[in-house]
Chain A
Amino acid sequence: MKLLKWCAVLLTAALCLPAAASLAADPVKVSVYQSVSDAGIYIAADKGYFAEQGIAIDLIQLDSVSSVVTALASGQMDVAGGAPSAAIYNSARQGIGIRVVADKGSMQKGGGYIGLVVRKEMADKIKSPADLKGHNVAWSGVGVGTTNEVALDHLLKSAGLKESELSLQNLTFGDSLAALASGSVDAAYLIEPLMQSAEQRGIGKILVTGDEMYPNQQVAVLLFGPDFAAKRADVARRFMVAYLKGVRAYNDAFRKDIDRATIVSILTKNTSVKKPELYEKMVMPGLNPDGKVNAEGMTADMQWFLSRGFLKEPVDVAKVVDNSFVDQAMKQLGPYK
């Protein structure tokens, strides 16, 4: 009888173990933008990669890099996606130990998901970037130290133009498309799916994509908060494994056509691109399946921000970029094939 009682206790304990494990999962607060470049996070969450690593993620939406920096520094957020703009380097200069830990969107060849679209009526006149001289051009994030400005500088240099030779309109991506459609501007810098939408709707023609403008430009990165990276390093390492698995599932879907329908349904559910058919037409953001960022390009960008007064002193990019989490995850996952 006693033996039977012990068996019952053991059986109950065994049944309760999974529940206990899920209760003990490490909570991680993650900031997202609802953009397609957040795919690695959404896929890892939906496919249970975070749960596999004993992590319970809480997704919160923030709208600017400065909000992200504040939230990460104060510990309100553990992980965030964000553009490596001047704000990231300034926060590092001011001793806020935010770390750039992985790629979350880069202009890999064929992955130029932001580009310049010329208004249909002007397509005969503006056939190359050099023809933009004297025209109204909509560009998002001018004057506030964004990666978009660095891309613009690359475009202008390649065309032998100066910024003063264009009439730049600082508009959001959404407003830029509206301005292009109404004829207020002759060209607009647009992100996907707006870039394809402009072409599909007969509003404009793509002149140059981001991967041609500035190859391998680091447009978005994954950031770890200082406390998360230092005090919860084990959780951070597990997070990276799950994240890279998500990124690899994304690459499998869009490079190799593996499980594409499932991935598209995850993205339509979570991102701002809600129509599945758009994923067949748009240029998908480049997400490095091996995680590493383009630190060389980021150093050049930092120098550009410095030269334009967005930074007061140079920052050692090697101290901002922390590859240790990606390196650990790669040991477990191996290189992407």
Chain B
Amino acid sequence: MSDQEEVIRIIGASEHRPSLWARLTGSNWFMAIASPVLMLLLWEAASRAGLLDRRFFPAPSSVLGELVALTASGELLVHVGWTLQRVAIGFCFGAVPAILLGLVMGLSPGLNALLRPAIAAIYPIPKVALFPLIMLIFGLGETSKWVIVAIAVFFQVFFSTLAGVMNIDRIYLDVAVNFGASRWQAYRTIALPAALPFIFTGCQLGLGMALIVVVVAEQFGTKTGLGFMIWRSWQIFEVRDMFVALIVVALLGYGSQLAMMSLERWLVRWKPRQGREQVGT
């Protein structure tokens, strides 16, 4: 009898092998897919059974058909491309200054005391409410859309970065001072690595916020983007197109979160992986 067979026999004697159902429900990826699929199946069933008015809530199968048709015609991809471009540019304009300012303010109590009240006062203003003012300053074109996305992203990333830096154990900074580390070295080797998990959390929240505001911003002064598609579909009462655009926005939101989590796993390798821990326990 080999060692491997011995191990299998011992485990088999102490506990039952989990059933396929138990293994599936214990798997994170299965549960992540199961919940939206179940919701769509319920929606489809309710629509086919006449519990939902199909004129206002078309069945997911017909929305899927429309999604395929719009993708094949290229129309949907053009709108998705414009929305992604606006989110990407706005995100960079918002996240980069937010990370820099968060790091600097986290390590500089004086600057923190000076700027934080002003930033905290502006933060609660709904970003969408600022859009008319932004259009007034930057016009109806692309710039106003980048700016509103940048503002929405800035606050999420800034506060997360600041929290990350301010939560650094004081002893690390004291050691840096004792060993004569320069300010740049303190930022690069202590503040930034320690704040990275917080920064990524802020980026995830910021991306979600970016999608929310870009969809609103695209309802003004443009003929492209998913926000325009939703608005136009409502204006011409093309309900299925509206659902297609809403579903694509949801998928983009989910996809961007997954991409950000993958990037975090790759960059912040020392952070324990929650998924694996759960599977292991």
Contact = CB atoms under 8 A, between A and B. Distances in A.
A94 B240 CA distance: 10
B238 interface: yes
A87 B236 contact: yes
Interface in A71-94: 73-74, 85-88, 90-91, 94
B125 to A, nearest CB: 24
Given A94-B55, A96-B55, A170-B221, A144 B235 contact: yes
Nearest to A310: B236
B235 A66 contact: yes
Given A87-B237, A94-B239, A70 B232 contact: no
Contacts of A145: 232, 235-236
A310 B241 CA distance: 11
A86 B236 contact: yes
A87 B56 contact: no
A69 interface: yes
A143 B233 CA distance: 11
A119 to B, nearest CB: 19
Contacts, number: 44
Contacts of A310: 236
Nearest to A87: B237
B236 A85 contact: yes
A246 B15 CA distance: 85
Nearest to A309: B75
B172 interface: no
A73 B53 CA distance: 11
Interface of B: 55-56, 140, 221, 223, 231-232, 234-239
A64 B237 contact: no
A82 to B, nearest CB: 11
B239 A144 contact: no
A144 B236 CA distance: 6
A207 B77 CA distance: 41
A53 to B, nearest CB: 31
A95 interface: yes
A74 B55 CA distance: 10
Most chain A beta-carbon contacts within 10 A, residue among B235, B236, B238:
B236
A88 B55 CA distance: 14
The 8 closest A-B pairs by CB, nearest first: A144-B235, A87-B237, A86-B236, A145-B236, A90-B237, A91-B237, A310-B236, A143-B223
A172 to B, nearest CB: 11
A143 B239 contact: no
A66 B232 contact: no
Nearest to A98: B237
12 contacts: A64-B235, A65-B235, A70-B56, A86-B235, A86-B237, A87-B236, A87-B237, A90-B237, A143-B223, A144-B235, A145-B236, A310-B236
Contacts of B140: 169
Interface in A168-212: 169-170
B238 A90 contact: yes
A95 B56 CA distance: 11
Contacts of B232: 143-145
A70 B234 CA distance: 10
A94 B237 contact: yes
Nearest to B58: A94
A96 B239 CA distance: 12
Count chain A CB atoms within 10 A of each CB in B55, B140, B237 and give the residue with the most: B237
Most buried by B among A144, A311, A312: A144
B76 to A, nearest CB: 13
A239 to B, nearest CB: 24
B138 to A, nearest CB: 15
Contacts of A70: 56
A90 B231 CA distance: 15
A120 B102 CA distance: 53
Contacts of B56: 70, 73-74
Contacts of B239: 94
Nearest to B242: A66
A229 to B, nearest CB: 17
A73 B236 contact: no
Contacts of B223: 143
Given A94-B55, A170-B221, A69 B235 contact: no
Contacts of A91: 237
